[in-house]
Structure 1
Amino acid sequence: MPPTVQTRPRDVRGYPVPAITPWEGDEPQFALTDYGRSADCALKRLCSVCNTVMPQGPVWRVLGAAESAAIGEALAAGRPYRNLAPTLEGPGHRACMLYASMVCPYLARPNARRGMSAAEPDDMTAHVVRGTVRGAMGAVVGFGEYEYAVTGTQVLFRFLDVVEFLPHDTADAHLDELRAELDRRAGRPAG
């Protein structure tokens, strides 16, 4: 677990709660995104998982099956990938996103299902339906840059210029990569 994630507030089971997760009383709503917290992450360049500043340079996201497949196909064909469709999901540090890909049940396994639906579905969240399966491959993807817009009701992100593509069937495939990233961040030699 990245040290910055270790310091996050925990739910009653002891799981760290990502920065953009809204709370209802004492219960985090893991499948939802808090508007104010997402706006803070965008405006202050904070990681959406650990809530600490991301340095200038690449940012990472965890992607589901459809976007992972599209990126994989573009890269295999030697084409750049550019998806200009906005998303509500903010960026994060490489270590935080590798970790999130492994511990979030929906992101970690192809047969995982969403635990809840979007509170008020719209064009951006219509796909967030309880019981939806993640699908074949997921990925942790690094992007050279991102853009954002904070509207009156949503925080929208767009990610540009793929710099790293780490696909997975099950996210435990990233465990060695996460360990190496944590060692690198701590200044320890790899291995």
Structure 2
Amino acid sequence: MRFEQVPMPDEVGERPRDDRGYPVPAITPWRDGQPQFALTDHGRSADCALERRCSVCGGFMPRGPVWRVVGPAESAAIAEALAAGRPYRNLAPTMEGPGHRACMLYASMVCPYLARPNARRRLTADGAGDGLTAAAVRGAARGGTGAVVGFGDYEYAVTATRVLFRFLDLVEFRPHESADEHLPELRAELARATGEARATGEAGATGEAGAQGR
């Protein structure tokens, strides 16, 4: 599915775009006026971690669950743990930061470094990929599946060269053979967000009208 056919969260729609109209994630660096989608910017990633901001849209993430897109190896490990009735513990650090549920559902479908099983992403500038989750070839010798996963919270460490994340307390597991399978849930999530925003606005308007009537 082409990215322009995927419904876009409002916050993602406010991001800068490249020449194709593709929204640029919050952790993506720019060089000579062009976004470098294959890279992760250390400073931007650190800011998102420290300020609890979504790595896709850059918006604030309230306390509570966060989401990320995982590749086939971690998806398989989660599925095995759930099938065995064991809690899943994410012990391996990753450079892939967390985000809102809608943003990660969206990113799983349109971001080539999350949606494609053989994609790679590297560190800022000329750093080579390493053995961490974000830099490993997704899907190599393990099948092409992945998942959008929710966690109760996250931990992070900012080093001189990279930002590492670890995720705690599995709360949602949505595996996929193709990320396009998330389209119905993305639409439902956006509809829920629209309904909540409308209800909040109506409640605020009612309260303001009541205050003026006193």
Matched, 1:161 2:169: yes
Count of aligned residue pairs for this structure pair: 184
Q: 1:171 pairs with 162, 169, 179, which one? A: 179
Matched, 1:98 2:98: no
Question: 2:159 — aligned with what?
Answer: 151
User: More helix per residue: 1 or 2?
Assistant: 2
Equivalent residue letter for 1:182 = L
Question: 2:200 — aligned with what?
Answer: none
Mark the runs of 5 or more structure 2 residues left unpaired by the alignment.
Answer: 1-7, 197-214
1:23 shift after superposition: 1.1
Question: 1:77 — aligned with what?
Answer: 84
Question: 2:188 — aligned with what?
Answer: 180
Q: 2:119 pairs with 95, 103, 114, which one? A: 114
Equivalent residue letter for 1:12 = D
Report if aligned partners of 1:87, 1:124 keep a CA contact under 8 Å in 2.
no
Report if aligned partners of 1:109, 1:170 keep a CA contact under 8 Å in 2.
no
Equivalent residue letter for 2:156 = Y
| Identity, % of aligned positions | 71
SS of residue paired to 2:38: coil
Q: 1:88 pairs with 75, 85, 95, which one? A: 95
SS of residue paired to 1:128: coil
1:166 shift after superposition: 0.2
Report if aligned partners of 2:55, 2:99 keep a CA contact under 8 Å in 1.
yes
Equivalent residue letter for 1:22 = P
Q: Closer, same or farther in 2 for the Cα pair 1:109/1:127, shift >3 Å?
A: closer
2:34 & 2:43 partners in 1: Cα distance? 17
RMSD of aligned residue pairs (Cα, Å): 2.0
SS of residue paired to 1:50: coil
Q: Closer, same or farther in 2 for the Cα pair 1:126/1:120, shift >3 Å?
A: farther
Q: Closer, same or farther in 2 for the Cα pair 1:125/1:177, shift >3 Å?
A: same
Question: 2:9 — aligned with what?
Answer: 2
2:107 & 2:134 partners in 1: Cα distance? 20
1:148 & 1:106 partners in 2: Cα distance? 21
Report if aligned partners of 2:120, 2:135 keep a CA contact under 8 Å in 1.
no
Equivalent residue letter for 2:164 = L
Residue deviations 1:75-97, cap 9 Å, x none? Answer: 11110111211111110000000
Report if aligned partners of 2:119, 2:138 keep a CA contact under 8 Å in 1.
yes
1:125-136 to structure 2, matched below 5 A, reads 125=132, 128=135, 132=137, 134=139, 135-136=143-144
Residue deviations 1:31-50, cap 9 Å, x none? Answer: 21100100110110000000
TM-score (norm: length of structure 1)? 0.89
Equivalent residue letter for 2:17 = R
TM-score (norm: length of structure 2)? 0.80
Considering only CA atoms, is the larger Rg found in Structure 1 or Structure 2? 2
